[in-house]
Amino acid sequence: MREYLKFYIDGQWVDPVEPKTSDVINPATEEPAGRISMGTAADVNKAVAAARKAFPSWSQTSKAERLEVLKSIQAEYARRQPELGEAIMEEMGAPSSLANGFHVGLGAGHLQTAIEVLEKFEFEQARGAHVLRYEPIGVCGLITPWNWPMNQTCVKVFPALATGCTMILKPPQLASLSAHILAEILDAAGVPAGVFNLVQGSGSVIGTVLSKHEDVDMISFTGSEPVGVQIQKDAADTVKRVGLELGGKSPWIVLDDDQLATNVASATAGMMGNSGQTCSAGSRLLVPNSRMAEAIEAATAAANGVSVGDPRGNFAMGPVVSKGQYNVIQEYIQKGLDEGAQLIAGGLGRPEGLDKGWYVKPTVFVGTNDMVIAREEIFGPVLVIIGYDDADQAVEIANDSPFGLGGYVTGSDVELARSIARRMRTGAIWINNGFDFHAPFGGYKRSGNGREWGDYGFHEYLEIKSMIGF
């Protein structure tokens, strides 16, 4: 079992001010995978003081100096990648191939992207009678969720480092092991003391102290809507910038063409990836009413074809992250049954043969957009299929949601896909499964207010200064 009991503050591994620990449970075994310390306000205060002290020199470093540090992190990250994959598998139950593949790969991708953006970034621009200057905002509190631990952490830490900010990372309790390894990577790579600090513990303690702290200039938060709202309130008195990346109920529109069955199958399998614990998952699958029977057949086969089991084995889907999440998902499946949605795959309880570990059946309902299972984020492997009559109605249903994080369109009529993409009220649209590390990511409506990834991810951490008559 891993014992990660020290915090990383001011370039040193230090004991918490008050000793208190908590186990990190492996959701596949329900046994402890590690133990962390639970920090208090005193630990946060030390970390903020270290970040504040480091800011004047780090913020004045040259692009070349920061690029050198990022490249040194890159070498160290590559070396520790297998350990990160193992930790992610243990802490949140991602299948080994996924944990070692996309999970650690996303972190590496954000690091490479930060390097590419920094190389080209113009921190000063002459514009008419003024020079515009981008400057690091200061000391940042980074608060992250457990569902894609390296992705969510790296998409904050590397842009913050690249722009010259200093920071305190508060990782999720459920997935705190990989964050500890990341701190070891930054330490070994020679990030100067105080620039990056790690304090573990509960969000209601560490997160609240960071959000209210007089000496923290900005909070970048990824997680649930209620916590995002609370952070904004806590940060209001000190007029902090708060970047929020919240939940979603993203629509996936399958167009009416000869690829429909294939596209429905891949959307269904995609929904089950990472056990459905992806904020931008296409959890509402919109299919033409005239092709509903075919869509049901394809989705049923795809969901039943998703193998579920031990993350160390060769399965497509592992458990969900915790008993708490398992219970929430079961309640939503029951809710779907109660509100009259048609269950076409999966359902209540664990998959057959799995009686230990928080495994959920890949579940598909056919329902309507007004049902609770179509409006609220379930954050599990549960898909809702909704019928549409024509493209206009598909867009209307897609936009009829409190959220606006992602959207998907698949089909051979690219012009139609583009026109739908233009009309969707979401921060990102993926047409025919495109992918780009430089594309900004963030939400409309209740999905948040920030934009991460690529160059827009830098702007989260930058102040704008006008130098007039320069």
Q: Which is nearer to ligand NAP, 66 or 459 (CB)?
A: 459
Nearest to 450 by CA among 228, 294, 168: 228
Nearest to 309 by CA among 96, 105, 102: 96
Query: Which listed residue (76, 90, 245, 377) is catalytic?
Result: 245
Give the shortest CB-247-to-ligand NAP separation in angstroms.
3
Ramachandran area for residue 149 (φ above 0: left; ψ -120 to 50: alpha; else beta):
alpha
Query: Which listed residue (154, 279, 377, 460) is catalytic?
Result: 279
Sites of contact with ligand NAP (CB under 6 A): 143-147, 152, 170, 172-173, 202-204, 207-208, 211, 222-224, 227, 230-231, 245-248, 279, 377, 379, 405, 443, 448
CA distance 189 to 438: 25
Helix, strand or coil, per DSSP, at residue 387: strand
Q: What is the DSSP string of 32-61?
A: EEEEEE---HHHHHHHHHHHHHHHHHHHT-
Q: Which two tokens stand for residue 147?
A: 């569902």
CA distance 191 to 38: 24
Q: Which is nearer to ligand NAP, 211 or 263 (CB)?
A: 211
| Phi then psi dihedrals of residue 237, to 5 deg | -65, -25
Give the shortest CB-104-to-ligand NAP separation in angstroms.
17
E-state strands within 270-355: 284-288, 342-345
Q: Which is nearer to ligand NAP, 191 or 227 (CB)?
A: 227
Give the shortest CB-434-to-ligand NAP separation in angstroms.
18
279 in active site: yes
Q: What is the DSSP string of 402-449?
A: SEESEEEEESS-HHHHHHHHHH--SSEEEETT---TTS-B--EETTBS
Please give the DSSP secondary-structure letter assigned to residue 117: H
Q: Which is nearer to ligand NAP, 99 or 405 (CB)?
A: 405
Give the shortest CB-136-to-ligand NAP separation in angstroms.
22
Give the shortest CB-74-to-ligand NAP separation in angstroms.
23
Other Cβ atoms within 10 Å of 120 Cβ, number: 8
CA distance 193 to 232: 29
CA distance 288 to 254: 8
Give the shortest CB-319-to-ligand NAP separation in angstroms.
15
Residue 109 vs residues 114, 117, 255, 258, 381: alpha-carbon distances, Å: 9, 12, 31, 34, 26
Residue 391 vs residues 157, 312, 421, 423: alpha-carbon distances, Å: 40, 43, 11, 11
Q: Which is nearer to ligand NAP, 81 or 144 (CB)?
A: 144
Q: Which is nearer to ligand NAP, 134 or 196 (CB)?
A: 196
CA distance 201 to 433: 37
Q: What is the DSSP string of 135-152?
A: EE--EEEEE--SSSHHHH
377 in active site: no
Give the shortest CB-69-to-ligand NAP separation in angstroms.
25
Give the shortest CB-245-to-ligand NAP separation in angstroms.
3
Q: Which is nearer to ligand NAP, 80 or 212 (CB)?
A: 212
Q: Which is nearer to ligand NAP, 81 or 280 (CB)?
A: 280
Q: Which residues are catalytically annotated?
A: 245, 279
